[in-house]
């Protein structure tokens, strides 16, 4: 979706990066004393979620840049850290939880990068293994048309040996990243889905073929890759369609390039349902066999999740028997059923993923730090 208006927080109005972003923006620009005017603009729209994707607000991150991923109680979480560089997204997936997460939802980009760098330096100095990503409250690469964020982060992470950065996207904005000296400390990651789900539920995103082609170009430049089958959507014929997606993945990407692959079935807080029904009346995505999980999120009935997970895992294992395959927010029963082991059998999920990052990104020079 095209950004049609730019608001600038007066506190960052005379910062060099503000001028740089303004020079790449073609549309009305307004400096505001507080965020209230931006929120009022978005809230007054007929579809505030849509308007929130068309209005970019440049401001400061007034909280911490590095945050612990909230995870979910009762399900196995992976100890990931979030790098909070901005919020919301210019693409428009029907199932996007961000639609009901922010009130109101606004595309914000944070400019106080001296604070970001100070927090990173502090973390790097601990010399302990960490995995982190920018793709939790936004898509990691949507900022490329206006900013040099990814380049700066890739260079920053290349200068240390204990943290892996994951840039997760549904775009193909990789041209400016290909020739950077990344030292394999940055993982470029794509969310994958079936052609049908991408076509009907992921508006404004790159096609499956385009995502895989972008991933192959990054692999050719030595970047480690990751893939996320998330959200897995259950509908008639989905097993064959997910198998087809797996086939297409391994037709262009050799397993040795892949750090990890995650699987996560569609899940959402109950209040998202009304948003999807109103914004995407043609979408059937919220009408599956859902039950409320222990964390209050709606999930497919467990036997259905296990069945589709078994099918996808089997297809992946046929091509990449040793790849680190994990579930986002599932319990031991699901792990055992679909993968044949529980995270605890391998030292826990955090340990599994840290070890994969050590191996593939060369953290700790290939061995775990203390």
Give residues in contact with ligand SF4 (CB under 6 A).
Answer: 89, 91-93, 96, 98, 139, 170, 205
Find the shortest distance in angstroms from Cβ 101 to ligand SF4. 10
Find the shortest distance in angstroms from Cβ 267 to ligand SF4. 13
Calculate the alpha carbon distances from 123 to 143, 158, 181, 247 in Å. 24, 14, 21, 39
Which positions ≥6 away from 158 have C-beta within 8 Å?
180, 181, 182, 183, 185, 186
Find the shortest distance in angstroms from Cβ 354 to ligand SF4. 25
For ligand SF4, the closer of residues 12 and 212 by Cβ is: 212
For ligand SF4, the closer of residues 96 and 234 by Cβ is: 96
Find the shortest distance in angstroms from Cβ 332 to ligand SF4. 27
For ligand SF4, the closer of residues 8 and 107 by Cβ is: 107
Going by C-alpha positions, the residue among 173, 49, 60 that lies closest to residue 106 is: 49
Burial (0-12, 13-18, 19+ Cβ within 10 Å), 278: exposed
Find the shortest distance in angstroms from Cβ 139 to ligand SF4. 4
For ligand SF4, the closer of residues 113 and 168 by Cβ is: 168
Q: Which two three-digit tokens encode residue 76?
A: 């196995």
For ligand SF4, the closer of residues 211 and 305 by Cβ is: 211
Pairing of strands 92-93, 202-203: antiparallel
For ligand SF4, the closer of residues 186 and 205 by Cβ is: 205
Which positions ≥6 away from 70 have C-beta within 8 Å?
none
Find the shortest distance in angstroms from Cβ 86 to ligand SF4. 11
Find the shortest distance in angstroms from Cβ 343 to ligand SF4. 25
CA distance 323 to 315: 12
Find the shortest distance in angstroms from Cβ 140 to ligand SF4. 9
Per-residue burial over 285-303, b if 16 or more Cβ lie within 10 Å, else e, is bbebebeebeeebbbbebe
For ligand SF4, the closer of residues 18 and 205 by Cβ is: 205
Whether residue 108 contacts residue 88, with contact meaning beta carbons closer than 8 Å, is answered with yes
CA distance 43 to 2: 18
Find the shortest distance in angstroms from Cβ 60 to ligand SF4. 22
């Amino acid at each position: 979706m095209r950004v049609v208006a730019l608001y600038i927080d007066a506190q960052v109005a005379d910062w060099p990066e503000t001028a740089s972003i303004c020079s790449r923006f073609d549309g009305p620009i307004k400096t505001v004393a507080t965020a209230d005017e931006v929120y009022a603009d978005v809230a007054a729209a007929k579809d505030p979620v849509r308007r929130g994707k068309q209005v970019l607000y440049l401001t400061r991150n007034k909280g911490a840049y590095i945050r612990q991923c909230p995870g979910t109680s009762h399900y196995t979480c992976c100890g990931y850290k979030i790098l909070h560089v901005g919020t919301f997204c210019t693409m428009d997936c029907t199932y996007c939880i961000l639609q009901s997460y922010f009130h109101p939802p606004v595309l914000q980009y944070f400019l106080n990068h001296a604070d970001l760098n100070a927090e990173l330096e502090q973390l790097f100095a601990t010399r302990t293994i960490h995995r982190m990503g920018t793709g939790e409250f936004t898509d990691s690469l949507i900022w490329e048309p206006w900013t040099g964020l990814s380049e700066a982060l890739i260079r920053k992470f290349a200068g240390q040996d204990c943290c892996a950065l994951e840039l997760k996207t549904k775009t193909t904005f990789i041209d400016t990243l290909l020739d950077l000296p990344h030292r394999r400390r940055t993982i470029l990651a794509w969310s994958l889905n079936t052609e049908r789900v991408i076509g009907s539920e992921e508006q404004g995103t790159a096609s499956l073929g385009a995502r895989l082609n972008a991933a192959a170009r990054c692999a050719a430049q030595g970047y480690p890759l990751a893939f996320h089958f998330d959200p897995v959507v259950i509908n008639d014929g989905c097993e064959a369609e997910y198998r087809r997606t797996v086939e297409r993945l391994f037709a262009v990407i050799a397993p040795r390039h892949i750090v990890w692959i995650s699987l996560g079935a569609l899940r959402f807080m109950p209040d998202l349902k009304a948003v999807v029904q109103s914004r995407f009346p043609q979408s059937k995505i919220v009408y599956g066999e859902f039950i409320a999980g222990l964390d209050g999120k709606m999930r497919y009935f467990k036997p259905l999740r296990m069945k589709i997970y078994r099918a996808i895992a089997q297809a992946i294992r046929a091509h990449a028997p040793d790849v680190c395959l994990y579930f986002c927010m599932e319990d031991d029963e699901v792990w055992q059923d679909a993968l044949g082991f529980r995270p605890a059998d391998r030292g826990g999920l955090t340990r599994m993923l840290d070890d994969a990052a050590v191996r593939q990104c060369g953290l700790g020079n290939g061995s775990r730090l203390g």
